Every structure is written in structure tokens, then in C-alpha cells.
A and B are shown apart, each in its own frame.
Chain A
Amino acid sequence: MLASAAIAQTAPGDSSAIPALTIAQPPPPNPATNVKAEDAPNDGGGSIRVTWAASPDDGAGRKNVASYNILRAVSSPTGAGAFDTVGSATAGNTEFTDGHTEDGIPYIYIVEALSSVPSPGGTPVMVSVRSEPTGVAYSNGQWFHMRRLNALIMVIIVCGAILYFIQQASSGKELFIRKIAGLDAVDEAVGRATEMGRKIFYIPGTQDMDEVQTLAGITILGRVAKVAAEYEASLEVPVSRSLVMVTCREVVKEAYLNAGRPEAYNDSMVYYLTDDQFGYAAGIDGLVMRDKPSTLFFMGAFYAESLILAETGNSIGAIQIAGTAMPAQLPFFVAACDYTLIGEELFAASAYLSKEPKLLGSLKGQDLGKAIILLAILVGIVMTSFGAISMDTSDLDKLGNYNIGQWFEVQ
């Protein structure tokens, strides 16, 4: 490190008069040049990107550049402060992002090329040579992430299609939605509960209101509660989150009101058990074994408790209708339930059941989005395949313009 200190005292870029190198050692590398610092683009602030042209000895010339150190100082009217190392880059790299800056503070940077040389004692030491300092750079946040423009375009297309179809549905145009088998069974399942004089249990998943599947599950609950109110069936909704409990109460209350039976609703129909995943599962299992409901609905986001719940319901011979978009839990519901809404069917269910223009239009718009995605995949596959054939290579990187999949890369 002695040599490094000696060089650091010399003028930037000048390594000709270095006392420590007067001994028989290889000369230090040439410095990195054209060093620039600028605000890192497309971020929320707090980072500056430093770029440089590699030292002539990095991979060429004397080939003695081992790595680069990036040094930073705060600039002031009286000159730069002390330079501190803020990071490093291996030889061959010409870019570094300093992710620990404070927005609005003027920073200047130096790139230090490092080389390992043998010392008289035999132990190699690092010698360094510094570049010219950069100009002043500030970090700032940007309002728009320009590399996510593709996501914006997709949102505009899908949302535009949804708004168009909502408008169509609102103006009275009939929008077709195919049958969803599990949902046709809702009336049947509620009717069965009424005939048998047993309860209906509705489980809206184990996640909170920030999970879209919970929202979908609660929307379906509105429909189930309305049918239950019309059939005068007994409905119970044990939940595992306080916010879900509050929302479910609102939804069930409104459903009973719409069914013309507000007096049949009471808050105790929707109750909280516990936030704990397996505590909740144990609680429901106990309730199911004791009350022996004739119908069980599992609609929402589930994790490892899915099979415990569905298997218990199956063991008492209840009709079970499940719906989730959790890929790992779907197999268990498919195996243990009578009907299962798979993935997006859960989200489509509310539109199918309610026939509301907003939901129908939304579903149609999403279908258009799927059609666009299918088309993009098809075109992309054809282009990349022809590209692969014409170039006789399996290397996707070389397909360049043929690979339109890169248009959809998410940064």
C-alpha cells in the first residue's frame, strides 16, 4: 500500500514521478480516462452513475489493471473535500452506480486503476493511479421510469379496452360470458343447505385486504349471501383478518338488504378467529366437525392450510366449492372439492354472477388483453424461430431484432 500512497500524492493522471516506483518494479497502469458522473436515470433518487473509458492497460497494453476503485468527495465553493472509496469494479468494467448519495448534494468522483506488483519483500502490493476528477454531479429522483414504457402501453391498451367494453355493456349491449361450472353450482349448494337445515360456511382465504384474491372472494360472498338470504339458509363467515371481517360484514349486510331480508342479518354471522394460519385452520376444522355444514365455500388466497380445510369438509360429506389463484394449492382443492375455480376463473366469477356492466366490461377487456398477448407470443415465436433457422444458432442473444420478447422485458 506504500506505492499506492505515493502515487496518490502526484497530480491526477501523472504517474511519471513516483518515488516508490523507482525500485525495479513494473510500472503502474495508465489511468482510466473520460470519467463522467451523472444522475442515474429512471430511479427514485439517491444514486449517481459513474462511467469511464477503460485504462489502455485494462485487458490490453501492459494488461496489469486488476480492478478500479471509485472515490467520491463532496464539492464545495472552497474545493473538494476528502475522497472516500465508495465502491469498486473489476477490470473490464466501465460503469459503477453509487447508490448511497443524498439528493441535491454536489459530488465529484475519481476512478482509481489498481495493479498488483511484487514488492521487495516478496508480498505483492497494490499500486494505484487516479483519473482526472469528474465534474459536479447531483442525484435526483425522476417522475417517470422510461424503461417501463412498455408496461404503461400495456396498461393503456388493457384499461382502454376495459373502459370501451364497460361503455358497451352500460349502453345495453349484451356481452356473452361462457358458463363457469363451479358457479352454476352455487344456487344448488345453497338450496341443499336450506333443504337439510344445515349451515353454509364461507371461508374468504387467509390473507388480508391487500390481496386481490381476497377482494374477489369477498365479491363472490356478496352473491352467496344474497342467495342464502333469499333461501333463508344459515350463513357463517369465519375470517382470519380484522379488516376482512369488517368488509365481509358490510358485504353480507348489503346482500341481505338487497334480498329484502335485512332483519335476518346480524354481525355474529361474520366473526374473527385468529390471524395465525394454522390456528385459523384448527378453528375451522373444529367448527366444521361440530356444526357439520352442508356447504363449504373456499374463495380467496390460501396456503398450506388448504388441504387441511378441504379434507375436513370432504370427510363430513359437504358440498365444497373452492376458488383460488394460488398455483401450489389448486391441486389440493381440485382433489378434495366438488368444484374448483381455477386461477382467473375466481376473478371472472364475480362478473359472471352479478352480470353487472362494469364487471362484464372488465372481463371482456381482459379477454382482449389475453388475445393481444397470444398474438404477441405467436408472432414472437415465429420470428425467433425463423431467425434461429436462418442463422443456424440457438443463441437467443444473437437473434437481435427477431426477438420481440425483449419488448416486454420488465426493468
Chain B
Amino acid sequence: MWMDHPGWVLFGTWVAALFTLGIATFLYKDNPVYKFCEAVFVGISAGYWFVSYFWQTLLPKLGYPFYAGVKTVFVGPAEWGWLVLLIPGTLGMMMLLRLVPKAGWIARWPLAFIVGYTAGLRLITFLQSNAMTQLQNSVQPVVRYNESGQFLGWESFNILLVTVGTFAGLFYFFFSQEHKGVFGRVARVGTWFLMITFGAAFGYTVMGRMSLLIGRLDFLLADWLHLIR
């Protein structure tokens, strides 16, 4: 392909490198170079996603099957499964009626549909993954023994710690009860557990971000400037 031509690859590398540096100038302060890079980034990505949705979602999931279905009616043998596509198609058209001032209210119906089905669908998913699976994994004996019946102190302590953290954390997320007295103290312990968890997660994620930075520096120093191999 023409895009694989070394000249285009070199051009692409230079554009990517200059835009990387342009965006990085934001570290100093907002400036015309950053504004330009930002505008190009936002504009191109918006256009890219529009094209992507059109070719990868709208046509393969609605346009092509609809056309193929209608064609069977005229060419035969007739199939009618495509009629179900009229539902999303109609909902999509209703959404576009926002552009017509007098019929704008119709756009609320597909929105209501989306909100309703999202809530219903996610109820089961959340219940299973966030409640039942967690519950199942939380039910562990807090005393552990090895095969020969020897008490495992460290393992037992770990399980006990997880159990206390789970209970205290759940207490924090009770909204029907004021956080006072014993309840409040347990909830307070819950916030400690949460903050320690957040601290650990912070460090872990920052390490991930460092690898992204290293990847970008690698691009600049190796692919662009050829200073390192």
C-alpha cells in the first residue's frame, strides 16, 4: 500500500513526534502550539470516530443486513428476520428528530429506551459480579490448617484481615445509618482500609503510567531521532 512507502512512514513519524512535543508543551503552560495540537487532535479524532461508527457499526449492523433482507423479498426466497432491524432503525430515526424543533420531543423516547434497558441489563450483571461473586469469595474459614492438621497462623491472619476489611468497608457504604457510636467507629476503620487500598492502587497505576511515558520517550529517541536502539 502507498502508506507503507518509506517516505510516508518517515512523514508520519515526524508528524507524530512534533505533535507529541506540541502536546507536551502544556507542561509549561497553555500556548499557541498546544492550542493548535489540541484542536487538530480533537477535530481529527471526532471525525475518525464518526467514520468508524458509520463503517463499523451502522452499516454492518443495520445498513447491510437491512438491504440484504429487503432484497430477499424481491429476489426470493423471502426471509423476514430483517424486520427486527426496523426497531433500532426507527429508534435511530426518532433520535434524529431532535433536529426538527416541533418534533424534538419524540427524541426522548429512544433515550428512555436506552436508559431503561441499560438499568435492567446491568442490574443482573452487577448483582452477579459485584455482589454474589464477591460474597462467595468472602466466605472463607478464618482458621487454616495444612494437610497434617498444623495451624497456619499467617494465612489465618490474612483471611481475618480481609474479612475485617470487607465488613468495615461495607459498613461505610450503609446510607441508612448515621456514622456515630460503634457503627461510626467500624465505618471509620472501613475508610482506613479504603485509603490504604487507594494508596496501593495509586502506586501500582503510576507505575503503569511510567511505562506509557517510557514508551513515548522510546518513540522519540529511537524511532524519530535514532539516538538509542
Q: Contact check: which of A150, A278, A331, A376 meets B199 at CB < 8 Å?
A: A331
Whether B209 and A304, one on each chain, are in contact in the complex, defined by CB atoms closer than 8 angstroms, is yes
Q: Which one, A32-40, A92-100, A282-290, is touching chain B?
A: A282-290
Q: Contact check: which of A178, A290, A377 meets B176 at CB < 8 Å?
A: A178
CA distance A353 to B23 in the complex (A): 39
Q: Mark A240-284, 1 if CB is under 8 A from B, else 0.
A: 000100110010000000000000000000001111101110110
Question: Is the C-beta of B135 less than 8 angstroms from some C-beta in chain A?
Answer: yes
New A-B pairs, 5, CB < 8 Å, besides A328-B205, A363-B176: A210-B121, A279-B45, A289-B26, A380-B138, A393-B145
Question: Is the C-beta of B142 less than 8 angstroms from some C-beta in chain A?
Answer: yes
Whether B177 and A178, one on each chain, are in contact in the complex, defined by CB atoms closer than 8 angstroms, is yes
Give the shortest distance, in Å, between B57 (CB) and chain A (any CB): 12
Question: Is the C-beta of B16 less than 8 angstroms from some C-beta in chain A?
Answer: no
Question: Is the C-beta of A188 less than 8 angstroms from some C-beta in chain B?
Answer: no
Interface residues on A, range: 35 or more
Instruction: Report chain B residues within 8 Å CB of A364.
Output: 176
Whether B131 and A373, one on each chain, are in contact in the complex, defined by CB atoms closer than 8 angstroms, is yes
Known: A150-B132, A332-B202, A409-B136. A215 touches B46 (CB 8 A): no
Whether A276 and B124, one on each chain, are in contact in the complex, defined by CB atoms closer than 8 angstroms, is no
Instruction: Report chain A residues within 8 Å CB of B140.
Output: 381, 384, 396, 405
CA distance A381 to B37 in the complex (A): 57
Whether B119 and A344, one on each chain, are in contact in the complex, defined by CB atoms closer than 8 angstroms, is no
* Most chain B CB within a 10 A radius of its CB, from A178, A363, A384, A403: A178
CA distance A157 to B194 in the complex (A): 28
Q: Mark A200-220, 1 if CB is under 8 A from B, else 0.
A: 000000000111100100000
CB pairs A–B below 8 angstroms (19 shown): A150-B132, A178-B176, A178-B179, A210-B118, A211-B118, A212-B118, A215-B118, A243-B111, A246-B98, A247-B111, A279-B46, A286-B38, A344-B173, A363-B175, A367-B175, A367-B176, A374-B167, A381-B141, A392-B149
Q: Contact check: which of A272, A331, A348, A352 meets B205 at CB < 8 Å?
A: A331
Instruction: Report chain A residues within 8 Å CB of B132.
Output: 150-151, 154, 408-410
Question: Is the C-beta of A133 less than 8 angstroms from some C-beta in chain B?
Answer: no
Whether A273 and B198, one on each chain, are in contact in the complex, defined by CB atoms closer than 8 angstroms, is no
The B interface is mostly helix, strand or loop, or mixed, namely: helix
Known: A272-B46, A388-B143, A405-B139. A377 touches B118 (CB 8 A): no
The A interface is mostly helix, strand or loop, or mixed, namely: helix
Instruction: Report chain A residues within 8 Å CB of B67.
Output: none
CA distance A370 to B190 in the complex (A): 15
Among A152-175, those with CB < 8 Å from B are 154-155, 158, 175
Q: Contact check: which of A282, A352, A373 meets B42 at CB < 8 Å?
A: A282
Give the shortest distance, in Å, between A155 (CB) and chain B (any CB): 6
Q: Mark B99-142, 1 if CB is under 8 A from A, else 0.
A: 00000000110010011001101111011110111011111111
CA distance A178 to B173 in the complex (A): 10
- Report B's interface with A, CB cutoff 8 A: 23, 26, 29-30, 34-35, 37-38, 41-46, 48-49, 95, 98, 107-108, 111, 114-115, 118-119, 121-124, 126-129, 131-133, 135-147, 149, 152, 155, 163, 166-167, 170, 173-179, 194-195, 198-199, 201-202, 205, 209
CA distance A22 to B192 in the complex (A): 77
Whether B34 and A276, one on each chain, are in contact in the complex, defined by CB atoms closer than 8 angstroms, is no
CA distance A374 to B173 in the complex (A): 12
CA distance A274 to B98 in the complex (A): 20
Known: A377-B139, A384-B141, A394-B144. A246 touches B107 (CB 8 A): yes
- For A277, the closest partner residue in chain B by CB is B45
Whether B135 and A376, one on each chain, are in contact in the complex, defined by CB atoms closer than 8 angstroms, is yes
Whether B133 and A410, one on each chain, are in contact in the complex, defined by CB atoms closer than 8 angstroms, is yes
Instruction: Report chain B residues within 8 Å CB of A367.
Output: 174-177
Give the shortest distance, in Å, between B30 (CB) and chain A (any CB): 4
CA distance A351 to B175 in the complex (A): 10
Give the shortest distance, in Å, between B228 (CB) and chain A (any CB): 25
CA distance A352 to B108 in the complex (A): 25
Among A324-344, those with CB < 8 Å from B are 327-328, 330-332, 334-335, 342-344
Instruction: Report chain B residues within 8 Å CB of A327.
Output: 201
Whether A276 and B152, one on each chain, are in contact in the complex, defined by CB atoms closer than 8 angstroms, is no
CA distance A275 to B115 in the complex (A): 20
Question: Is the C-beta of A182 less than 8 angstroms from some C-beta in chain B?
Answer: no
CA distance A405 to B166 in the complex (A): 15
Question: Is the C-beta of A116 less than 8 angstroms from some C-beta in chain B?
Answer: no
CA distance A371 to B135 in the complex (A): 12
CA distance A116 to B38 in the complex (A): 67
Instruction: Report chain A residues within 8 Å CB of B175.
Output: 177-178, 180, 348, 351-352, 363, 367
Instruction: Report chain A residues within 8 Å CB of B42.
Output: 273-274, 276, 279-280, 282-283
